[in-house]
């Protein structure tokens, strides 16, 4: 749609966890450093938490890309697994030699054998679990039991849990106290500050191939921060919609007006009614009209 109009090579505010857009913000870089140091020192359980939209999955992908050849990794994005399904997924991810119709005991033996092979090859094994706050208790307990696999010197398996803060409340429950005691490192992500939002937006514009003058003026960036609360996912949504709103009539840069319309059309954004005179329904319709106008404009070029 608006790529050619604004001079982008790719969409700057897509919601997919593309590591080429990783932003070296203090909180996220500190979190990555904590994870890398903990894993390289051979710790068993590591926990990273953060609110919805703070970029945990992107950070997980960045971690997996940063570990290097000395590590073998398994990534489980689906938390809704039974203990058996979880064991099978890890065994398959690690390349364990499983017999046909493997039983739970077969999977455990094959996984242990594979872990010992990797340890003999001087490889560290890391399992990354996403959205752990939604993982059933019995599956969490099965993960803990897997980390019992060890030699006299080191753990054969390390686990990194990425989760929303609800996991902390669950770990305070008595039946999960053993798992909580296994967690040796933890980190909590925080939202972007006002200055960081400006830097984040400019960073993504540069990565997307933009080389012109300021595309979002300072007032527009301030509106993005207020509307998003510093949540990167909301920043992406608001900026994408603001670009659509500007593209419709052919505007060359983003103003507060464009951002306010985007905020009014976005679920979860922080609305500031005094700053927007149009009703919310009108704003939603206007965005749709701008999208349609933009498509027509693009097809006519």
Q: Which residues pair with 49 in a beta bridge?
A: 163, 188
Instruction: Name the residue ranges covered by the structural domains of the chain.
Output: 3-9+192-299, 26-188
Express each pLDDT in 217-235 by its tens digit.
999 999 999 999 999 999 9
pLDDT exceeds cutoff 80 at 31:
yes
Express each pLDDT in 145-162 by its tens digit.
888 888 777 889 999 999
Residues sharing a CB contact under 8 Å with residue 13, sequence separation 6 or more, in sequence order: 204, 235, 236, 237, 239, 240, 243
For the segment 15-40, the average pLDDT, to the nearest whole number, is 91
Q: Which CATH architecture has domain 26-188?
A: 3-Layer(aba) Sandwich (3.40)
Q: What is the percentage of the chain residues whose pLDDT exceeds 90? A: 72
Q: Report whether 92 contacts 99 (CB < 8 A).
A: no
As given in the structure block, the two tokens for residue 34 are 């904590």
Q: Which residues pair with 159 in a beta bridge?
A: 45, 127
As given in the structure block, the two tokens for residue 164 are 């929303």
For the segment 205-222, the average pLDDT, to the nearest whole number, is 95
């Amino acid at each position: 749609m608006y790529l050619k109009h604004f001079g982008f090579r790719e969409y700057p505010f897509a919601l997919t966890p593309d590591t080429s857009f990783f932003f070296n913000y203090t909180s996220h870089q500190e979190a990555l450093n904590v994870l890398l140091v903990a894993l390289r020192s051979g710790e068993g359980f590591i926990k990273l938490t953060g609110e919805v939209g703070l970029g945990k999955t992107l950070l997980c992908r960045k971690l997996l890309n940063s570990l290097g050849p000395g590590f073998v990794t398994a990534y489980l994005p689906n938390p809704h697994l039974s203990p058996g399904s979880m064991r099978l997924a890890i065994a398959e991810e690690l390349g364990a030699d499983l017999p046909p119709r493997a039983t739970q005991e077969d999977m455990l033996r094959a996984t242990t054998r594979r872990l010992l092979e990797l340890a003999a090859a001087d490889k560290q094994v890391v399992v990354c679990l996403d959205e752990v706050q939604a993982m059933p208790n019995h599956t969490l307990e099965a993960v803990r039991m897997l980390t019992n696999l060890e030699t006299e010197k080191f753990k054969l398996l390390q686990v990194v849990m990425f989760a929303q803060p609800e996991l902390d409340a669950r770990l305070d429950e008595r039946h999960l106290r053993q798992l909580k005691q296994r967690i040796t490192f933890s980190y909590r992500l925080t939202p972007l500050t006002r200055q960081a939002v400006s830097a984040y937006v400019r960073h993504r514009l540069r990565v997307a191939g933009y080389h012109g003058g300021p595309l979002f003026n300072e007032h527009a960036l301030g509106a993005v921060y207020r509307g998003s609360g510093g949540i990167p996912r909301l920043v992406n949504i608001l900026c994408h919609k603001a670009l659509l709103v500007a593209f419709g009539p052919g505007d060359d840069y983003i103003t507060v007006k464009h951002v306010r319309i985007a905020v009014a059309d976005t679920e979860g954004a922080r609305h500031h009614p005094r700053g927007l005179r149009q009703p919310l329904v009108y704003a939603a319709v206007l965005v749709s009209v701008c999208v349609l106008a933009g498509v027509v404009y693009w097809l006519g070029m």
